[in-house]
């Protein structure tokens, strides 16, 4: 299963030898017999807002209607404790959360993780060493604990107990205060093919503000999006797309430079789907996805320019077309 390639770009992970290639660059992707495109938007009902989100996500030239909407939603929101602020960088979100936590009455409760094994690996862990909470603070779950308690669920701290923060969740139609206890997070090494470190920590993060990549997939009835430091295609579209209605949306600091255009490989991929639709379902993926815009003769000997350009961007250096590179590209994903 693959998501929307017009959203956030893949994040490289050298440890897994994952250099942030798009899935459609794999020849395995083109072997699937069909593709299902979901075209019904459920989160928003406002056609103007939907159109604006799509243009931001795709990095397209914004229409006058979309520009007018972004100007309209630059005003302050009605003061609500449920407003979540979307920021670009983790550091900005951490600072914002610390400042907002300090504004709540009472002393914070700090949970310190219990670690084991490789400290070098733990430094790369996304699970923080210390987690702060306080009565009334908004938090987000960072692990799947049960069918109704899942990663990305937003709630507020209802009370602090000796067992851990008490969070009210809707369970079987009833609000129940559930203690959140430390969860065991494991760090797996693909090179050693084993778990090299563990960290036992509360599966919670403060959620006065969130980095855009962490709020992807979450619905936010009241959200304030800060555009400063936007650097990647799809970022702003993802952030604005968390809103359900323009009345609960504020966009701060928007300029036309914030709508970043996607790499040509992504544009070519979607254009191929459009072309296949016009030719009928049987034509979909008639051309291997990793051979976009290439004739049959050149597609069998060289990677397409769009793929080479994208790989060069990831590696931050130009890539000459060599037999080794051609072989790597043609077998990627197998």
Closest by CA to 183, choosing from 125, 98, 102, is: 125
What whole-number distance in Å separates Cα of residue 239 and Cα of residue 218?
Answer: 10
Identify the residue whose tokens are 């693959």: 2
Q: How far are the Cα atoms of 121, 139, 266, 293, 315 from residue 158, in angstroms, in the given order? A: 34, 11, 44, 56, 47
The pTM of the full predicted model, rounded to 2 decimals, is 0.77
- Contact call for residues 93 and 87 (beta carbons, < 8 A): yes
What is the C-alpha radius of gyration for the chain, rounded to an integer number of angstroms? 23
Residue 278 sits at the vertex; the CA angle it makes with 10 and 303, to the nearest 5 degrees, is 40
pLDDT, one tens digit for every residue, the chain (334 residues): 567 888 877 777 776 676 677 777 777 777 776 677 777 888 999 999 999 999 999 888 899 999 999 999 999 998 777 899 999 999 999 999 999 999 999 999 999 999 987 677 787 788 999 999 999 999 999 999 988 889 999 999 999 988 889 998 766 667 788 899 999 999 888 878 888 889 999 999 999 999 999 998 899 999 999 999 999 899 999 999 999 999 999 999 999 889 888 888 888 888 887 777 666 544 444 344 443 333 333 333 344 555 555 555 554 445 455 555 555 555 443 3
Question: Which residues, at least 6 apart from 144, have a Cβ–Cβ distance to it below 8 Å?
Answer: 150, 151
């Amino acid at each position: 299963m693959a998501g929307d390639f017009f959203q956030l770009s893949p994040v490289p992970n050298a440890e897994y030898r994952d250099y942030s290639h798009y899935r459609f660059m794999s020849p395995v992707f083109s072997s699937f017999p069909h593709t299902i495109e979901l075209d019904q938007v459920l989160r928003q009902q406002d056609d103007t807002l939907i159109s604006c989100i799509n243009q931001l996500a795709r990095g397209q030239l914004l229409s006058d209607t979309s520009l007018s909407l972004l100007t309209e939603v630059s005003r302050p929101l009605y003061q609500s404790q449920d407003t979540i602020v979307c920021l670009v960088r983790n550091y900005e979100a951490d600072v914002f959360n610390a400042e907002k936590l300090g504004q709540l009455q009472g002393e914070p409760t700090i949970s310190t993780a219990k670690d084991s094994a490789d400290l070098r690996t733990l430094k790369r862990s996304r699970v923080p060493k210390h987690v702060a909470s306080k009565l009334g603070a908004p938090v987000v779950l960072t692990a799947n604990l049960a069918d109704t308690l899942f990663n990305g669920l937003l709630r507020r701290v209802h009370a602090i107990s000796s067992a851990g923060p008490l969070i009210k969740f809707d369970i079987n139609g009833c609000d129940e205060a559930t203690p959140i206890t430390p969860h065991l997070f494991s760090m797996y090494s693909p090179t050693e093919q084993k778990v090299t470190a563990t960290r036992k920590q509360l599966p919670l993060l403060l959620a006065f503000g969130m980095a855009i990549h962490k709020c992807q997939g979450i619905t936010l009835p009241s959200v304030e999006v800060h555009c400063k430091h936007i650097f990647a295609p799809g970022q702003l579209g993802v952030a604005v797309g968390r809103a359900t209605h323009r009345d609960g949306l504020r966009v701060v600091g928007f300029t036309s430079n914030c709508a970043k255009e996607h790499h040509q490989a992504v544009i070519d991929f979607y254009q191929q789907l459009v072309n296949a639709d016009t030719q009928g379902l049987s034509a979909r993926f008639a051309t291997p996805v990793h051979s976009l815009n290439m004739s049959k003769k050149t597609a069998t000997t060289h990677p397409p320019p769009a793929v080479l350009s994208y790989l060069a961007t990831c590696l931050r250096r130009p890539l000459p077309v060599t037999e080794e590179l051609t072989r790597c590209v043609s077998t990627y994903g197998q």
